[in-house]
Amino acid sequence: MAGQPTFRRAKRFTYFHTDYHAIYEGAVNHHVKTNQTASVDGNSTEAITGNKKITAANASIDSALDFMRNKILRPKNVLRTEKITIAHGNLTATSSQTLTLFRASPGDTVYDILRNITSPLASGSTLGRYAKVSVGDAGDPDGFGKSIGLGTPSGWDLTTQTYINKGEYIFNASPFYREFKTYTSATLIQAVFNASGKFLASLDGGSIDFYIDVMSRA
């Protein structure tokens, strides 16, 4: 609506009204004491800003979204990657230590696990294979990754190029057949560190990133 009211001494006023046009011909009610609620029945090109939630049933996003490389929190029914970092400071035992990487919920499927040795496990200025590590769960401690020495070299392992180090949860007897593990009850995914030449607690350098590819079902 547009226009300005003109007041007269007789306490009457003239109001110049501009017609309101609704594209979708929906009903619009105006009241000075209530808020107005808009409903988009067609296509919207406006940006979603602020802390907005899409809560409508069967809601869909039909165009591309750029998450700017940010994390998507608590997704369901979509494959995601959980990153867990284990550093030398987390190793406090002597010969062997089990550390939890991730808690799989009922219905979770773990498709793969990768490691990135960002810096070798070390003691003093000497770099060496001072620990061996396997990845699995209580039922099979190396079900995802076999026990291999860590230290040097740095970098990625448990990749498809080094499938020989994958556990039976990921690869069976044939390296060309890829498997996965679906959990029916809550289960801890763990890394088992075993000392090799030095006590685990004596290591003063090194860090490893573990990446777990998992899908949760709603």
Domains annotated for the chain, with CATH where assigned, are 79-215 (2.60.120)
Give pTM, 2 decimals: 0.68
Q: What is the dihedral of CA 39, 42, 46, 50, to 10 degrees?
A: 40
Do 193 and 96 form a contact (C-beta atoms < 8 A)? yes
Q: Which of 39, 15, 20, 45 is nearest to 30 (CA)?
A: 20
Residue 90 pLDDT greater than 70, yes or no: yes
Name the more confident of 164 and 191.
191
Most confident option among 20-34, 142-156, 158-172 = 158-172
Residue type, 110: V
Q: What confidence category does residue 138 fall into, taking pLDDT thresholds of 50, 70 and 90?
A: very high
pLDDT band for position 95 (cuts 50, 70, 90): very high
The predicted-structure confidence for 5-59, as pLDDT tens digits, reads as follows 665 565 555 555 555 555 555 555 555 555 656 555 555 555 555 566 677 777 7
Q: What average pLDDT does the chain have?
A: 78
Residue 83: what pLDDT?
94
Sequence-ordered list of residues with C-beta below 8 angstroms from that of 88, at least 6 positions apart, any chain: 121, 122, 203, 204, 205, 206, 207
Residue 141 Ramachandran class (φ > 0 left, ψ -120 to 50 alpha, else beta):
alpha
Dist CA 204 CA 122 (whole Å) = 6
- Rounded Cα distance, 99 and 150, in Å: 16
Residue 137, classed as helix, strand or coil, is strand
Out of 21-30, 71-80, 155-164, 206-215, the most confident range is 206-215
Out of 29-33, 60-64, 77-81, the most confident range is 77-81
The phi and psi torsions of 20 (rounded to 5 degrees) equal -95, 135
For residues 195 and 90, give the distance between their C-alpha atoms in angstroms, rounded to a whole number.
Answer: 14
Q: Is the N-terminal amide bond of 141 cis, ω within 30° of 0?
A: no
Q: Determine the residue type at 116.
A: N
Question: Which pLDDT tens digit goes with each residue over 97-132?
Answer: 999 999 999 999 999 999 898 888 888 766 556 788
C-alpha–C-alpha distance, residues 214 and 33, integer Å: 51
